[in-house]
Structure 1
Amino acid sequence: MILRSTFLHLRIPFSFFLLPVFLFALALTPNLDPERIAIVFFALHLFLYPASNAYNSYFDKDEKSIGGIKNPPPVSRQLYWISLAFDLLALLLGFMINLHFASMLFIYGLVSKAYSHPAVRIKKYPFLSWFIAGYFQGSFSFLMAYVGLNDFHLDNAMNSKIIFASLLASAILWGSYPMTQIYQHEEDAKRGDFTLSRLLGIKGTFIFTGIVFSLATAGFLFYFNAYYHIQYGYDFMIFLAPVVLFFVYWFWRVIKDETMADYRHTMWLNTISAICMNVFFIYLFLKSSGVLDAVLEGY
């Protein structure tokens, strides 16, 4: 029987924040198949990402708020074994598509373990952890989803349109990642994890995120102008406007009182950002696949 604490530390709902990467890959998928879509979605969001969350929680043993859990319960040994079992289930689903997809699931699982395990603990190195987390949750996950959704070999994804899109997925993560650490400075300091947010400081984290997010937005504008139509870039900015407004409002409050850089505001930013991006990439999928136009024309 799975303990309540184990289930909480899997943080399955937290996978919602990584859903934009899957939806972006889906929007660019030329070979749509409902069965493959379901397999890739469940492999990533029900098993692989929760396995990573659980493994991270087991070794961190946080006592204060973490992403998706305001008051984390004590971890048990069961959490460790469940995280490995979820990794295995993700792999089994991966093999239902092809070896390339399963191999990428395996590599992601290994990297997520190196991120947290005390023998390696990439998490304690500010720039390395920032780069690896952003790359694997962004670009690598995008390519992994794309390979699985299309039943492709990885070679089939090695073209400028797909590589550029995958790097844009990482750009968004590289911008937002330090913000997820902004309320954990005390906990990270206790464990000796010198995160990028600790290095930048609270106000520096906001400034860094604002700069990287601005560069990512410029990248999306360039991408859509090059491969689709510039209007998609303008749509992207419109859909993400609530994120920018909340970010500016929150920064204004933090400038006055740094205690406002807390868990509650971080989760609000994450939630608003995930909702806006998920809606945009669903819109992009419906437009690029022709489904939206067909519906609007009455078919």
Structure 2
Amino acid sequence: MRTMLARVALILSLLVPVWFMAAALGTKFGLWSWRTGLGVMIIQWGPRILIGTAILGLVALVITLARAPRRGWQAALIALLIPALGLGYLFWIRGQSADIPPIHDVATNIDDPPTYSPALLAVRDGEGANPVAQLSAPITSLPAYQGPRFAALEGKTLGQIGREAYPEVRTLTVAAPPTDAFAAAQAEVEAQGWTLVGAEPASGAIEATAETFWFGFKDDVAVRVRPAPGGGSLIDMRSTSRVGLSDLGANAERIEDYLDDVEDRLGED
């Protein structure tokens, strides 16, 4: 019976990663909404499943080690470690997100950010995506940021919050002329594997959509290349999530990585 309990605990623990993968991939392939996959299956039920399987693994480990013959303790130990590692990862994510503001729209130039075309905005509206707000708007004036939860953000604009959280997200200035900078910017969009929505060399505007692997979350990006005063080019970028209140820093990280790669592509430091 002790060995059987350890085996059952191990089987259930091995199914835990399957549950999380199913939640993510089911969302990606449209089997259920992201609110079900992320909100219910992972955020609501994920910790409960991890805690339950961890308790079962601990009980099995204690019982198998309580008296001789001590059989099955290895399986019980693995059954305990799998959910324990999962819980550790969730607590790490929670700790990381504690200092991240609940925003999903980040730009290099908050005073004059790149804009999205009416066609792309129509696609977002058709999917019921997050509205694209003005970065100059006071955050507590936006519908998604009502209530006492956001009282600490009162008096700040959406752009200011992003700038304070990600001060390194800034306009990239390069020595290359706009034509070369635009070509490098478009080439890097394609190298990232994003879906190119539009590219207009005359205006220096590029639009694309990035999609995450697991959940298939889509974030729209707008890149703008303009001549810099005195020569060279200014490259600005905006990245905006379609769903979710907080992006957990994903948009800022995307902008930083992209601009670093464009700079490398142009052979500039």
Q: Return the TM-score normalized by structure 1.
A: 0.24
> Which structure: greater helix fraction?
1
Larger radius of gyration: 2
Q: Return the TM-score normalized by structure 2.
A: 0.26
> Which structure: greater strand fraction?
2
